Structure 1
Amino acid sequence: MVPPPKPSKADLAAAVHKTVPDLVAPQLKVLFCGINPGLYTAALGHHFARPGNRFWPALHGAGFTPRLLKPWEEHELLPLGYGITNMVERTTNAASELLPEEYVAGGQRLARLVQQYTPQVVAFLGIGAYRSAFARPKATLGLQPERLGNSRLWALPSPSGLNANHQLKDLVALLLELREFVETPR
């Protein structure tokens, strides 16, 4: 597949009015849930599209994908049993622009999506978004005691290049724990 052209400044400015469609199917192993689309991602129309984002390298490094996928190859996740959504659909330059009530509304939207598609695990890529949306201020990384419908919940750090608290190797290790959990028969 041919990569889309790099967005221009005008494309980025116009992206604030765009959303990125959910990549979802019934009974996924994992539904990855980002915080919200950034301008670059929305301009391209593909999840985690900004070049500095570590989602795709971390996903591959943890063994979720047989090769390093590009954002515009995201549909290759569905046959593997993985999908992507966002907590908040609104595009911003930075997640810090989101309002608390947007996280709560996003959590409600996510609950409806999970009820409809019943993924085995919902993996939040941004523990702060999870804490805000579900009023879990003390949530820690990893498996959560709560469920969303019948789906297990897993909190992870944001893979954004702006998140300096966790490096790629950290993200790979945390995603590997998730993959092992999902692949272990229960």
Structure 2
Amino acid sequence: MSLLPDVVGETPLVVFCGMANLCSPVRHDHHYGGPGNAFWRLLHDSGLTPDRLEPADDVRLPAYGLGVTDLVVERAPDVPRLTHVDALAEKVGRWSPEWLAMTSKTVAAELARSLGHRPPGLGIAGWDLAGAPVFVLPGPSGANQRREYDGRPDRLSWWTDLAALVGRGPRAAGL
């Protein structure tokens, strides 16, 4: 089975981590390329990128100090569930990002359980992976449309908090 390749440069500020099932086909040619996925809009609106990128621009992320990867899991009827945390930890250790941003509470919970932590809420998780502190974002999927996100009325405010942590966006500028 093939997975989308990691897109990470030499010195990333933030590596965004989703979840990929090794036993499922790749559905899109680019990270966060599904219809209705707000990843690229949230990335720009939060101030993490000065330009509005599209899924086909995922290869440009390293120019902004950003990257994307996936926590790989195997889920199939004839295969016990297996989460490849060690492989992710090895990559994160090699990349040494300032932050590892989990792009949903679901993927953060999968990682947390594998590391022996309780599933975190949104925001700073309070633990790290391979030296990179973990920040949990509300999922950008079009299916994730709620009235509140851990007490906030929108997803963007969480993304803006992450942007401020790395010195980007309006909150970082004191606006």
Q: Same fold (TM over 0.5)?
A: yes
Displacement over 4 Å in runs of 4+:
89-92, 166-169
* Deviation by residue 1:102-146 (Cα, 9 ceiling, x = unmatched): 3x32x2221111111111100000112211222233411101211
108, 126, 140: which one aligns with 2:86 = 108
User: 1:19, 1:45 within 8 Å by CA — same for their partners in 2?
Assistant: no
- 1:147 alignment partner in structure 2: 128
Inter-CA distance 147–100: structure 2 relative to 1 (3 Å threshold): farther
Mark the runs of 5 or more structure 1 residues left unpaired by the alignment. 1-16
User: Distance in 1 between the 2:80 and 2:4 partners?
Assistant: 21
- 2:97 alignment partner in structure 1: 119
User: 1:100, 1:132 within 8 Å by CA — same for their partners in 2?
Assistant: no
User: 1:19, 1:89 within 8 Å by CA — same for their partners in 2?
Assistant: no
> Aligned with 1:87: secondary structure?
strand
- 1:156 alignment partner in structure 2: 137
The alpha carbon displacement at 1:26 in A equals: 2.5
- 1:34 alignment partner in structure 2: 18
> Aligned with 1:67: secondary structure?
coil
Q: Does 1:19 align with 2:3?
A: yes
Inter-CA distance 181–137: structure 2 relative to 1 (3 Å threshold): same
Inter-CA distance 165–100: structure 2 relative to 1 (3 Å threshold): farther
> Aligned with 1:144: secondary structure?
strand
The alpha carbon displacement at 1:165 in A equals: 2.9
**Alignment length, in residue pairs?**
159
The alpha carbon displacement at 1:76 in A equals: 1.7
- 2:36 alignment partner in structure 1: 52
Q: Which one has the bigger strand percentage?
A: 2
Q: Which one has the bigger helix percentage?
A: 1
Q: Does 1:78 align with 2:56?
A: no
- 1:176 alignment partner in structure 2: 160
User: Distance in 1 between the 2:148 and 2:63 partners?
Assistant: 28
Superposed CA RMSD: 2.9
Mark the runs of 5 or more structure 2 residues left unpaired by the alignment. none
> Aligned with 2:31: secondary structure?
coil
User: Distance in 2 between the 1:69 and 1:148 partners?
Assistant: 28
Q: Percent identity?
A: 28
